[in-house]
């Protein structure tokens, strides 16, 4: 497969204001490019961990047959990468404009867009590829419409898509990408073959990170990969961003301390202070610690998460733990609804304190 | 005449008073010219904007400081005209999309995308991109935040985005994983006090250390507020000596008074009186969640530990219900609930 210039992974969208990508911009110097983009997998097989998906897609590329697709899974698991890699393997750069329409949440995607833009594109006849293109790429006889972040599509827009998907399936395939499959209406989901992208296991993250540090000449100390992996919770993008930001700070040597500094986790020491007051049953102490944590810039939900982890590991009685869990759930909802953080956390703190008192 | 807060705002990374480790990180980042997207978060008055300004100056030099106010109008698909203001210099643009309320999505899809697509006006070899500062990202709707996702990835070669917000958990994960998060925690009381004293020196005013630490404690670790308090103390009494008391906001005094009334007597008459006082606070545009929080803090001072747990529980309960509803009902319900709890507690105590 020929290498693509850095900007070519964006297909041209049929809009009045043409995308920047149409003008030939020189690829940015590699140092300014985020590693997430620089090391995006170039082929379907290179996407880590999602073997089932990549196997079936490779088979589809070989056979020139593709169903409508629906990719779903948590952020940073390779959905967009897989989609971009797929289009690169199917079509040569010259055919991009006529064969691929990529739309994401940064484009207006209301009902009218679906009716006009998407329908028009879906209607177009398939262009005939040149013999040179055919020799390098399979160029299957259909167009591809990628709807990234489709969980932000309105229900109306989704319903409008139902018939469009069916009636144009001869010349057009749809590829929907989303985080929450439950936000896609049933009739739409049932028209696509679904692929679930699972959070990446540690081996996949570690192997990608070591590939990157090899080509960036990084000196990564022991335990750093494992630490990054733990912090990123299976999100490859956040793992790669953490690695790059750590290298921005300290050049080529990367230690655990730097990674901890760049990650957004509450240091164990601060949480311990709060736990000590809670175990000791000192309300004023807790009030002070909670105030400090919030003034420290930590968000309520992070404090909640840290607190619930610590309580589960602590020696509190089962009944107390159960009550705390109930309270944490309630508090989480209040935070999402925009509740006052200090009050919510203090409320949970009171409950934890009671749990400890009853255990003793 | 500029306020002291603006007049003595540090302009360079090296001149920042505290959080030297953040300044060092920003400085080393600005030297490598591979700046990632950034997300500054932390409580208000901690110095997020000051740090961003200093970082931009480090990157682009003094051109950043020559700003002007631009406004742009555009039309939503529903034919509504929306105007947004932005602060621009030749190398950076700062805007506040949450001003547009429900229409913030269109700002992200139209204005921000367009700005991000265009090349920077001034070709600078070291810094081949321009910077877009987006304020109050935590107030953006989920739709608008989702609109930023691909824009941030697609145009990284010409544009870096700096997000600013108070609450990290109101920003969706996909955005956070695209940025390097920088936590700016509130300065400690001592740090605020020393900033107050040094600001005083610049203005040729000697600030007594006792006053400085008093203001710092009262400010709730908010440097902006502390500086404003210092200046207002200075206007009231130009010769700041140790007899000067730190000025407290009227509404805070009022809440202390309200709490005193509630704990003093629990009866339907007092409840009526409390209602009037709450109305007074609401009329003066004090946000209801602030009233609830300050009132709870004041009330807690008179309670023992087991009662405190109960009081906070109910405060959270009523605060949670307040969103979108008639706030006065829930504040009043909380006061009534507190009266009941307190009375019961007193009866149990004295029989």
Q: Please say whether the beta carbons of A358 and A322 come within 8 A.
A: no
DSSP β-ladder status, B81-88 and B92-95: antiparallel
Is the domain spanning A6-196 CATH 3.40.50.300? The answer is: yes
The answer to whether B316 contacts A341, with C-beta atoms less than 8 Å apart, is no
B residues 134-153 lying closer than 8 A (beta carbon) to A: 142-143, 146-151, 153
Q: With an 8 Å Cβ cutoff, is B181 touching chain A?
A: yes
User: Which whole number is the average pLDDT over A138-145?
Assistant: 89
Shortest distance between the Cα of B239 and any Cα of chain A, in A, equals: 32
Q: Are B276 and B328 in contact (CB under 8 A)?
A: no
Q: Do B180 and B149 touch, CB atoms closer than 8 A? A: no
The domain over range A202-262 is classified in CATH as 3.30.465.10: no
Contact B159, B121 (CB under 8 A): no
Torsion, Cα A116 A122 A126 A130, to 10 degrees, reads: 80
> What average pLDDT score do residues A291-316 get?
87
Interval B64-81: pLDDT, tens: 888 889 888 878 777 888
CA A151 vs CA A23, A100, A113, A155: distances in Å? 31, 20, 16, 9
pLDDT surpasses 70 at A323: yes
DSSP E strands, chain A:
69-72, 100-103, 143-147, 172-178, 193-196, 219-220, 253-254
Over the stretch A215-241, which tens digit does the pLDDT of each residue have? Answer: 988 888 888 898 888 888 888 988 888
Q: Considering only alpha carbons, which residue of chain A is nearest residue B151?
A: A106
What pLDDT does A313 receive? 87
For testing the chain B interface, which of A343, A345, A348, A352 should be mutated: the one with the most B CBs within 10 Å? A343
Q: Indicate yes or no: CB of B143 within 8 angstroms of CB of A334.
A: no
Q: Which residues from chain B sit within 8 angstroms of residue A179, using beta carbons?
A: 174
A202, A208, A259: which is closest to A39 by C-alpha? A208
Residue B1 has a pLDDT of 63
Q: Using the predicted structure, report yes or no on whether residue A3 has a pLDDT greater than 60.
A: no
A346/B129 Cβ within 8 A: no
Confidence (pLDDT) at B121: 67
CA-based nearest distance A247→chain B, Å: 10
**Percent above pLDDT 90 for chain A:** 22
Label residues B324-350 b or e (16+ Cβ within 10 Å = b): eeebeebbbebbbbbbebbeebeeeee
Contacts of A60 (CB under 8 A, 6+ apart): A66, A67
> Hey, are the CB atoms on A20 and B289 less than 8 Å from each other?
no
Please tell me the predicted confidence (pLDDT) of residue B278: 93
B206 touches chain A (CB under 8 A): no
**Is A237–B146 a contact, with Cβ atoms under 8 angstroms apart?**
no
In this structure, the dihedral spanned by the alpha carbons of residues A201, A207, A211 and A213, taken in order and rounded to 10 degrees, is 80
CB-based contact B153:A55 (threshold 8 Å): no
CATH topology for the B250-350 domain: Zinc Finger, Delta Prime; domain 3 (1.20.272)
Which run of H or of E encompasses A120? helix A119-123
Give dist(CA A252, CA A247) in Å, integer.
6
- Write down the pLDDT at residue A8: 40
Yes or no: say if A31 and B32 are a contact pair by the CB < 8 Å rule: yes
Encoded tokens for A261:
């500094």
Q: Can you tell me the distance from the alpha carbon of A22 to that of B279, in angstroms, rounded to the nearest whole number? A: 60
Comparing CA positions, the residue from A69, A76, A114, A26 lying closest to residue A231 is A76
| B20 at A interface, C-beta within 8 A | no
Contact by Cβ (8 Å): A67, A195: no
Burial class (CB in 10 A: 0-12, 13-18, 19+), A62: exposed
State which residue of chain A sits closest to B291, comparing Cα positions.
Answer: A340
CB within 8 Å: A295 and B43: yes
Least CB–CB distance from A105: residue in B41, B147, B313: B147
Token digits of residue B339: 């009266």
Residue A21: pLDDT band (50, 70, 90) is very low
Chain length of chain A: 360
Interval A200-211 mean pLDDT: 91
User: What pLDDT sits at residue A15?
Assistant: 41
Domain B4-183 has CATH 3.30.70.100: no
Which residue intervals of chain A bear CATH 1.20.272.10?
268-359
Answer yes or no: do A281 and B305 touch at CB < 8 A. Answer: yes
Which strand (E) or helix (H) includes residue A66?
A: none
* CB A14 within 8 Å of CB A123: no
Going from N- to C-terminal start, the domains of chain B cover 4-183, 189-236, 250-350
Q: What is the pLDDT of residues A87-115, one digit of tens each?
A: 988 898 888 888 999 888 777 777 888 88
Residue closest to A340 by CA, chosen among A296, A306, A271, A290: A290
What local confidence, expressed as pLDDT, does residue A298 receive?
85
Residues of B in contact with A5 (CB under 8 A): none
pLDDT value, residue A19 = 39
**Chain A contact for B117 (CB, 8 A cutoff):** yes
Which one of A15-19, A132-136, B246-250 scores highest in mean pLDDT?
A132-136
Burial of A118 (0-12, 13-18, 19+ CB in 10 A): buried
Inform me whether the pLDDT recorded for A37 exceeds 50: yes
Are B289 and B250 in contact by the 8 Å Cβ rule? The answer is no
- Which residues in chain A have Cβ-Cβ distances shorter than 8 Å to B32? 31, 248
Q: Looking at A10-14, A266-270, A274-278, which range is the least confident one?
A: A10-14
Contact criterion met (CB < 8 Å) for A107 and B109: yes
Q: Do A33 and B173 touch (CB under 8 A)?
A: no
Mutation target vs B (from A346, A352, A354; most B CBs, 10 A cutoff): A346
Instruction: Quote the CA–CA distance of B65 and A18 in Å, as a whole number.
Output: 33
User: Using the beta-carbon criterion (under 8 Å), do A106 and B179 form an inter-chain contact?
Assistant: no
- CB atoms near residue A245 (< 10 Å): 24
d(CA B225, CA B231): 10
CA distance B235 to chain A (A): 29
> Out of A28, A107, A241, whose CB is closest to B36?
A241
CA distance B5 to chain A (A): 20
Can you tell me the distance from the alpha carbon of B87 to that of B71, in angstroms, rounded to the nearest whole number? 9
Q: Which residues of chain B have pLDDT under 50?
A: none
Task: Tell me if B153 and A294 make a contact (CB, 8 A cut-off).
Answer: no
| B154/A288 Cα distance (integer angstroms) | 44
CA B82 to chain centre: 25
Judge whether B149 and B174 are in contact, CB under 8 Å.
yes
Q: Which residues of A touch B25 (CB under 8 A)?
A: 249, 261
Q: If you count DSSP H runs as helices and E runs as strands, how many of each does chain B have, helices first? A: 15, 7
Picking from A102, A202, A77, A297, the residue whose alpha carbon sits closest to that of residue B174 is A77
Architecture of the domain spanning A268-359:
Up-down Bundle (1.20)
What is the rounded distance in angstroms from the CA atom of residue B244 to the CA atom of residue B247? Answer: 9
Positive or negative torsion for Cα A57, A61, A63, A68 = positive
Contact A75 B177 (CB under 8 A): yes
Chain A residue at shortest CA distance from B305: A283
Tokens of B37: 């997207």
pLDDT tops 70 at residue A27:
no
Select from A297, A339, A341 the Cβ nearest to the Cβ of B41.
A297
User: Measured between beta carbons, which residues in chain B are less than 8 angstroms from residue A245?
Assistant: 36, 180
- What pLDDT does B217 receive? 86
CB contact set of A323 (below 8 Å; sequence gap of 6+): A351, A354, A355
pLDDT band per the 50, 70, 90 thresholds, residue A348: very high
Residues B31, B34, B39, CA angle at the centre, nearest 5°?
100
């Amino acid at each position: 497969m020929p290498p693509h210039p850095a900007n070519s992974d964006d297909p041209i969208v049929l809009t009045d204001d043409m995308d920047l990508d149409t003008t030939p911009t020189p690829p940015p110097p590699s140092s300014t490019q985020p590693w997430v983009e620089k090391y995006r997998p170039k082929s379907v097989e290179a996407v880590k961990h999602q073997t089932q998906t990549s196997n079936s897609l490779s088979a589809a590329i070989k056979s020139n047959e593709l169903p409508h697709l629906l990719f779903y899974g948590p952020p940073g698991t390779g959905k967009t990468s897989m989609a971009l890699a797929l289009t690169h393997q199917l079509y040569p750069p010259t055919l991009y404009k006529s064969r691929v329409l990529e739309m994401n949440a940064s484009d207006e995607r209301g009902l009218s867009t679906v009716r006009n833009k998407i329908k028009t594109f879906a209607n177009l006849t398939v262009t005939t590829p040149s013999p040179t293109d055919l020799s390098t790429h399979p160029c299957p006889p259909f167009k591809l419409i990628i709807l990234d972040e489709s969980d932000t599509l309105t229900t109306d827009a989704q319903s409008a898509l139902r018939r469009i998907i069916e009636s144009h399936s001869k010349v057009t395939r749809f590829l929907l990408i989303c985080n929450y499959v439950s936000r896609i209406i049933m009739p739409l989901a049932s028209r696509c073959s679904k692929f679930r992208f699972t959070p990446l296991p540690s081996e996949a993250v570690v192997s990608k990170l070591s590939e990157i540090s090899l080509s960036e000449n990084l000196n990564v100390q022991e335990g750093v990969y494992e630490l990054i992996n733990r912090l990123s919770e299976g999100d490859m993008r956040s793992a790669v961003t953490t690695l790059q930001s750590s290298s921005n700070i300290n050049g080529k040597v990367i230690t655990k301390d730097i990674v901890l500094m760049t990650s957004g986790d509450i240091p164990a020491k601060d949480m311990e202070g709060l736990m000590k007051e809670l175990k000791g049953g000192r309300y004023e102490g807790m009030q002070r610690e909670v105030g400090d944590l919030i003034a420290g810039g930590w968000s309520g939900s992070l404090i909640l998460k840290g607190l619930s982890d610590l309580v589960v590991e602590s020696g509190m009685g089962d009944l107390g733990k159960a009550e705390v869990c109930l309270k944490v759930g309630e508090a989480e909802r209040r935070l999402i609804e925009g509740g006052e953080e200090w009050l919510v956390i203090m409320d949970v703190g009171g409950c934890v304190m009671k749990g400890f008192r009853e255990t003793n | 005449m500029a306020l002291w807060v603006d007049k003595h705002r540090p302009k360079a990374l090296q001149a920042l008073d505290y959080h030297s480790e953040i300044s060092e990180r920003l400085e080393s980042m600005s030297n490598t010219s591979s700046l990632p997207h950034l997300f500054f978060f932390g409580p208000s008055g901690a110095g997020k904007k000051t740090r961003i300004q200093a970082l931009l100056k480090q990157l682009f030099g003094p051109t950043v400081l020559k700003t002007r106010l631009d406004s742009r109008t555009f039309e939503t698909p529903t034919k509504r005209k929306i105007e947004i203001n932005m602060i621009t210099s030749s190398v950076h643009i700062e805007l506040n999309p949450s001003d547009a309320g429900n229409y913030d999505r269109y700002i992200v899809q139209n204005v921000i995308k367009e700005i991000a697509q265009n090349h920077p006006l001034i070709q600078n070899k070291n810094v081949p991109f321009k910077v877009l500062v987006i304020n109050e990202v935590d107030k953006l709707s989920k739709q608008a935040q989702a609109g930023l996702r691909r824009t941030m990835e697609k145009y990284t070669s010409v544009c870096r985005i700096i997000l600013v917000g108070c609450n990290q958990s109101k920003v969706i994960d996909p955005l956070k994983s695209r940025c390097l998060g920088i936590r700016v925690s509130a300065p400690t009381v001592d740090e605020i006090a020393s900033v107050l004293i040094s600001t005083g020196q610049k203005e040729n005013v000697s600030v007594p250390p006792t006053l400085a630490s008093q203001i710092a404690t009262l400010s709730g670790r908010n440097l902006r507020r502390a500086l404003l308090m210092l200046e207002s103390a200075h206007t009231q009494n130009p010769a700041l000596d140790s007899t000067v008391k730190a000025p407290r906001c009227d509404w805070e005094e009022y809440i202390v008074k309200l709490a005193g009334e509630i704990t003093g007597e629990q009866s339907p008459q007092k409840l009526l009186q409390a209602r009037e006082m709450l109305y007074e606070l609401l009329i003066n545009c004090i946000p209801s969640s602030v009233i609830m929080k300050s009132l709870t803090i004041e009330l807690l001072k008179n309670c023992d530990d087991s009662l405190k747990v109960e009081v906070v529980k109910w405060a959270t309960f009523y605060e949670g219900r307040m969103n979108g509803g008639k706030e006065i009902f829930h504040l009043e319900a909380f006061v009534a609930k507190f009266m009941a709890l307190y009375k019961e507690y007193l009866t149990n105590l004295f029989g």
